[in-house]
Amino acid sequence: MSNKNQQLIELGLKNWNSISWDLSSPQLVEIALSRGEGKLASNGALLVTTGSRTGRSPKDRFIVEEPSSKDNIAWGKINVPMSEEKFDHLFNKIQSYFQKKDLFAQDVYVGQHPQYRKRVRVVSELAWAALFARTLFVRPSNLEEVANHQPDFTILHAPMLHADPALDGTNSEVFVVIHLGRKLVLIGGTQYGGEIKKSIFSIMNYLLPLQGVFPMHCSANVGKDGDTALFFGLSGTGKTSLSADPERRLIGDDEHGWGDDGIFNFEGGCYAKTIRLSAEKEPQIYNAIRFGSIAENVIFDDYTRVIDYDSDEITENTRATYPVEHIDNVLIPGIGGHPRNIMFLAADAFGVLPPIAKLTPEMAMYHFMSGFTSKLAGTEAGITEPEATFSECFGAPFMPLPATRYAELLGQKMEKHHSDVWLVNTGWSGGPYGVGERMDIRLTRAMIKAALNGQLREVEFEPHPIFKVLVPKSCPEVPSEVLNPRNTWEDKSAYDRKAAELAKLFQKNFEKFSDVPAAIKEAEPVIPS
């Protein structure tokens, strides 16, 4: 019996029908197809559907309240506690369920930086879930690493096993439970691949600050001169699309750490939204989706197997997972220097924020702690159209520690390394959702390019009368009337009312941060009399 099999037996898993360890991507694709788990697209990607859950299930995520971590966690509506007793009940349920099953295990890493990486084991009943883990996380570089892999954390992935809320103490048939003390994650009742990814992200967000490293929900790239840029934002705000810049090298598309020697990617792959993806607007992502990739919940022609990226028949939150090396100009390993520029991306469904604005350090802290954006359709269960939201640190669903802990780390890093910070509205212009239009990604790219290459340092800025952020009066390759959002509205008084409405939401949300320094509080939007 292999050492790895013995480790699973010691974990309480036994009597499985078969277990396939660390299969290659082609092997996993073959098995997934033979088992009817998916179909093959014309571009070579594996096509899968995830059932009733096509986005994350935040109301079904729990952290076990246990001695080693309970005093550190910011308990509440996001970090919901679960007792050890209920965890053991679900754990026993998975142990029983895995008996007589064909299982697929992948040993991978999270974290490109050797000093901070963690070893992860994913055990699933689905071959395509093992492929997801292999594609998204950092793969071992040689067979010796594979053979000697001793997991720091293990994910037991049983998507076809549904919980019974009355018996199991869950909120629905879905459960995503993190036990930091026992280094285990239990996932059941949902096939959505993002739950695997985000559970490990949450664990890194707990562990890294204890080492003085700032974990970030952001993408990152680097220019020809070695200048690193970060792109913060929730799902659907454009992190993946905007960081995949043909003129810059990609470090990573979603999750990074910022340590004493610079930044590093957590992953070895990308998990991109594909709704309305086109070769013209996003050629790098479009071409990255090929053999070895997974496309979730997309519509395709049954005969030609050509994907229809414009269709939202199943969900708005269509996704593709692909290895980072599928991006032509990716930086491997995903490690970069200290960021010169930081972008806060907000998909503003109100249509009132400027498309780009510079932030003072105090404004940067205010907007980081606020984390304003709009939840886009499909990214979470129950979201069918854009909905204004505030997500602390641009990633509250994945942040186990208090928001102030992450904000302190950001402030220290910005001050030490003199980073410029920008607020970028990738949402609506000319009116709110339903009236205006989504900002053209080509214009957003032009504004970000001007910020990154220093051209915006040469222009004049003026403070926005309500949001106070510093709005450039001109920008190369961008019509000047676009820069002031009020100019894009036909009804200027309607703009004023909508802007005041959003400012009030900012103020209401920030009331929970009663003990922040006065300078940060001063960055708050004002409501005109």
Q: Looking at the annotation, which residues are catalytic?
A: 56, 198, 217, 235, 239-240, 254, 319
Write the DSSP assignment of 301-335 as a string of letters.
-TTT--EETT--SS-S--EEEEEGGGSTTB-SS-E
Do 496 and 528 touch, CB atoms closer than 8 A? yes
Q: What are the φ and ψ backbone dihedral angles of 211, each rounded to 5 degrees? A: -105, 10
The secondary structure of residue 385, as a DSSP letter, is: S
Do 154 and 183 touch, CB atoms closer than 8 A? yes
The C-alpha atoms of residue 41 and residue 65 are separated, in whole angstroms, by 44
Do 329 and 391 touch, CB atoms closer than 8 A? no
The C-alpha atoms of residue 159 and residue 289 are separated, in whole angstroms, by 24
**∠95-179-74 over CA atoms, to 5°?**
150
Q: Helix H segments across 23-173?
A: 25-34, 84-97, 127-136, 143-147, 165-168
Strand positions, DSSP E, 328-443: 335-336, 339-346, 356-359, 372-375, 387-390, 420-425, 428-429, 437-438
Do 79 and 176 touch, CB atoms closer than 8 A? no
